[in-house]
Structures are given as structure tokens and as C-alpha cells.
A and B are shown apart, each in its own frame.
Chain A
Amino acid sequence: MTPLGALLIRDMRISVRVGGGALIGVLFFLVVVALMPFAIGPNLLLLKRIGPAILWLAALLASLLALDRLFAADHDDGSLDLLLMGRAPLELVVATKALAHWLTTGLPLVIAAPVIGLLLNLDAADDAALVLTLLVGTPALTFIGMVGAAIAVALRRGGLLLAVLVLPLTVPVLIFGVAAAQSAFAGAAPFGTAFTILCALTLASLVVGPFAAAAALRQEIE
């Protein structure tokens, strides 16, 4: 088994075991979406109009709130020292950890989104556009959030700090994710443009995130 393969399997295994919290992100997503109509009102036309925005915001919060233990757990039990000493480049190590995190937290959100979309009166076309944007956009959230997780690794109130640090950085993803999801039915802006920019943002975060997170971990570990 290659070092990174071993790490991927280990991280995914931990998150589905007792105490792992793989599905808590989806649960959070569901709760946030279910609460919205209580604040906004049950008007189905209105919910349909703002549905993609609600789902995107909920997905954003769900994927970021689950991130704070990404490196902190390994820091607390000494695993991080050994991960830093491995022969695999640290950038790839953190990218692998983020991938494992996305597979157990982000991907379930994407899979649950169409069902939860039903609650907001989204039809099949809206759902398809939404799932597509989430599938492309949530990796960007994880890989941007990973930088915050690395910066906050040794801090006690890391979870809150993480949200404060990272949420502003996710503004572009949110803008183009919601734009692409909404243009599918509202016709506000062409789907292709927004979606292409969203893809570009994700690719950029896949490159920048690991380098920034690795650099932050090297600083923080001392």
C-alpha cells in the first residue's frame, strides 16, 4: 500500500467509526434547510426561488463546521509529528486528508441535496443543476477550509476561529455556485459562464489549498 493510500483509507475509516461524525455534516445540512421556511414562511414559490441559495449556504456551513478536527485530532495525539516526518510530501499528505474529508463529508451533502431540494419545491431540472454545482463547488470549500484548519490546528477555540477565518474566503465560490444553480431556471445569467468560473475556482483551490495548509502546519507545529 502506498503511504497516501494508507492515509486515505485510515482517515475515511475513522470518520465512519463511532465518534467519527461522517454523517453529522449531512444532518446539519438537513436541519439548516428545514429551519429556513420557519423564518421565511412556507410560500412554495418563494422557497423555490431562493432554494438554491439556501441549499448552498447550508452546504457551505456544513462543510466548514465539520473541518475543525481535520488536523487538530492528529495534532492532539501526536500523529501530526509523524505525518510531517513521512517521506510523502506534506502538500500531498494534507491534500489526501482533505480528499478523505470531502469523500466522507462533502460527497454525502451532494448526494442528499436532491432529496432535501424536494423540501424547497425544487423540480428535477433545478435539482440536477444544484447537484452539479455542489459536486464541483464543495471540494473548493473543503480545500479552502483546510487552510483555516491548518492555521487553527493548535488553538482551543479552533472551530469558531476557523469559520471566521475561512467564510470570507469562500465568497467567490458561493457567488458563482449559487449563480450557476439559479441560472438553470431563472435565466438570470447563462449557466455555462458561472459554472465555468466555479470549476476554475475549484481547480485553483485544489492547487493553492494544499500548499498554504502545508506551510501553515510547518509553522504551527513548533
Chain B
Amino acid sequence: MRLSAVNLTCQRGGREVFADVSFSVAAGELLAITGRNGAGKSSLLRIVVGLIRIAQGRLILEGGNPELSIGEQAHYLGHQDALKPALSVDENLRFWTGFLGGKGADAAQAIETVGLRDLGDLPAAYLSAGQRRRLSIARLIAVKRPMWLLDEPMNTLDAAAQDRLTALIRAHLAEGGLVLAATHGSLGIAGMQQLHLGEQDR
């Protein structure tokens, strides 16, 4: 599996966010997208999953399921956690697992992996920001999808949870997954590709 972008240009509200961005990521590889605020890191991820229309350029996925769009084969972890405060931790994850086509047993396993098993019956409203983030990460494990698109995944996580996420990303890569991550800091993963957005001449 290989995901490539050729001369992608993104426009939002008539303003050009970035232009002529190209990259190529193969199975088992991680692409770290860096750049200052507003350089278009989030926009690039949203273009890839199909939430923003491509202004110019192309996205090519080789070796995926040709009947599905890229977004349908990818997990997107955005800034927001997509959790409903009125539902319990279990109910939240079970819903996304069911909606994204996974099995209930995997949801239970995923809750365990992110260390929220004890809180399963609590409403999501009671969780701290870090706990909410972990619950949202559990979605990535509960349903298998080959591509992970992570927007500042380490935000709000404490050191232990960051280590755990790094391990999860490593495991995903080892299984032949493919990761695109917008990030400020290091993800602690060796051999990652880097894509720097904006002001490349400076």
C-alpha cells in the first residue's frame, strides 16, 4: 500500500493555504507533517480524508481497496474528540466501533488498552481532557483501518499516555499500517519521513 500526493494545493475561503505539496508514504512508514501554526497541517490531513476538496493536484492510493475512498479506509483523529458527554465511556466507543464497522469485543479490548476499563460506566462528561483523548484514540484500535491520520495526537496526553500512543503507532506500523501525523514535537519514532509546510526557503 502506498499513498502519494502530487502537487496538492489547498484553498480555504479564497486564500491559498499551501501549494504544490507532494509526498509519498508506503505501508509501515510514518510521515510527520511539521510547520508553524496556520501552515496548513490540519488542512492537509482533512484533504487526504476527503473533508476538504482538493483545489489542484492529485491523491493516489495504490494497493488499497479500490471500492472505497481514502477516507473510508482511514482513521482521522482530529482536534475534537467526537464524544458525547451524556453517553458513558463504553457507549461512546461502542457506537463508533459499530458505526465504523467493528465488533463489540474489539471495543472492550480497546478500552482496556488505553487504560480506561475502570471508567467504562462513567459518562464521558466526567472525563479529563487527557482521558477523553485516550478514549478517542481507542477508536483507532477497536476498528482496523490501514491508514491513521493524526492531528497533534500527543496534545493533552501525559508522559505515560504519550509513551503508550507511541507504542500503538509502532505496532500499527509494524502491522503494515501507514501513519500521517501533524505534529509540533517529536513522536519518538525512528526513521520517520518529514514534510515541512510553508516558508521552505527560510
In the complex, identify which listed stretch (A75-83, A131-139, A149-157, A197-205) lies at the interface while the others stay far away.
A75-83
A222 near B95: Cβ-Cβ < 8 Å: no
- Does A6 lie at the interface of the complex (its beta carbon under 8 Å from any beta carbon of B)? yes
Which of A13, A14, A84, A87 sits near B51, CB closer than 8 Å?
A: A84
Compute how far the CA of A20 lies from the CA of B12 in the bound complex, rounded to whole angstroms.
34
- Does A35 lie at the interface of the complex (its beta carbon under 8 Å from any beta carbon of B)? no
**Chain B interface, >50% SS class:** loop
Compute how far the CA of A5 lies from the CA of B79 in the bound complex, rounded to whole angstroms.
27
| B43-62 vs A, Cβ < 8 Å mask (1 yes, 0 no) | 00010011111000000000
Compute how far the CA of A19 lies from the CA of B84 in the bound complex, rounded to whole angstroms.
11
| B-side interface size class | 20 to 34
- Does A7 lie at the interface of the complex (its beta carbon under 8 Å from any beta carbon of B)? yes
Known contacts A19-B86, A77-B82; A85/B49 CB under 8 A: yes
Compute how far the CA of A132 lies from the CA of B186 in the bound complex, rounded to whole angstroms.
63
B132 CB to nearest chain A CB (Å): 10
B72 near A87: Cβ-Cβ < 8 Å: yes
Contacts of A81 in B (CB 8 A): 46, 49, 51, 76, 78, 80, 82
Compute how far the CA of A82 lies from the CA of B53 in the bound complex, rounded to whole angstroms.
16
| A-side interface size class | 20 to 34
Which of A1, A17, A78, A86 sits near B78, CB closer than 8 Å?
A: A78
| B66-101 vs A, Cβ < 8 Å mask (1 yes, 0 no) | 001001101010111111111100010011101111
Which of B12, B71, B80, B85 sits near A84, CB closer than 8 Å?
A: B71
Contacts of B82 in A (CB 8 A): 77-79, 81-82
Which of A6, A18, A78, A83 sits near B86, CB closer than 8 Å?
A: A18
Compute how far the CA of A14 lies from the CA of B125 in the bound complex, rounded to whole angstroms.
13
Give residues 85-124 of A contacting B (CB, 8 Å).
85-88
Compute how far the CA of A88 lies from the CA of B72 in the bound complex, rounded to whole angstroms.
9
B87 near A13: Cβ-Cβ < 8 Å: yes
B76 near A85: Cβ-Cβ < 8 Å: yes
Compute how far the CA of A83 lies from the CA of B96 in the bound complex, rounded to whole angstroms.
9
Nearest-neighbor residue (CB-CB) of A9 within chain B: B95
Known contacts A6-B95, A84-B51, A85-B49; A14/B84 CB under 8 A: yes
A86 near B99: Cβ-Cβ < 8 Å: yes
B53 near A7: Cβ-Cβ < 8 Å: no
Known contacts A17-B87, A20-B86, A85-B72; A6/B80 CB under 8 A: no
Compute how far the CA of A17 lies from the CA of B123 in the bound complex, rounded to whole angstroms.
11
Nearest-neighbor residue (CB-CB) of A7 within chain B: B99
B68 CB to nearest chain A CB (Å): 7
- Does A164 lie at the interface of the complex (its beta carbon under 8 Å from any beta carbon of B)? no
A17 near B98: Cβ-Cβ < 8 Å: no
A85 near B101: Cβ-Cβ < 8 Å: no
Interface residues of B (CB under 8 A from A): 12, 46, 49-53, 68, 71-72, 74, 76, 78-87, 91, 94-96, 98-101, 104
* CB<8 Å pairs between A and B, sample of 18: A1-B98, A3-B98, A3-B101, A6-B95, A10-B84, A10-B99, A13-B86, A13-B87, A77-B82, A77-B84, A78-B78, A78-B79, A81-B46, A81-B49, A84-B71, A85-B71, A85-B74, A86-B101
Interface residues of A (CB under 8 A from B): 1-3, 5-7, 9-10, 13-14, 17-20, 76-79, 81-88, 221-222
Q: Which 8 A-B pairs have the closest CB atoms?
A: A78-B80, A6-B98, A17-B86, A1-B98, A85-B71, A78-B82, A10-B95, A79-B82
Q: Can you add 19 more A-B contacts, CB < 8 Å, to A1-B98, A222-B52?
A: A6-B95, A17-B87, A18-B86, A19-B85, A77-B84, A78-B81, A81-B51, A81-B82, A82-B76, A82-B96, A82-B99, A84-B51, A85-B49, A85-B72, A85-B74, A86-B72, A87-B68, A221-B51, A222-B53
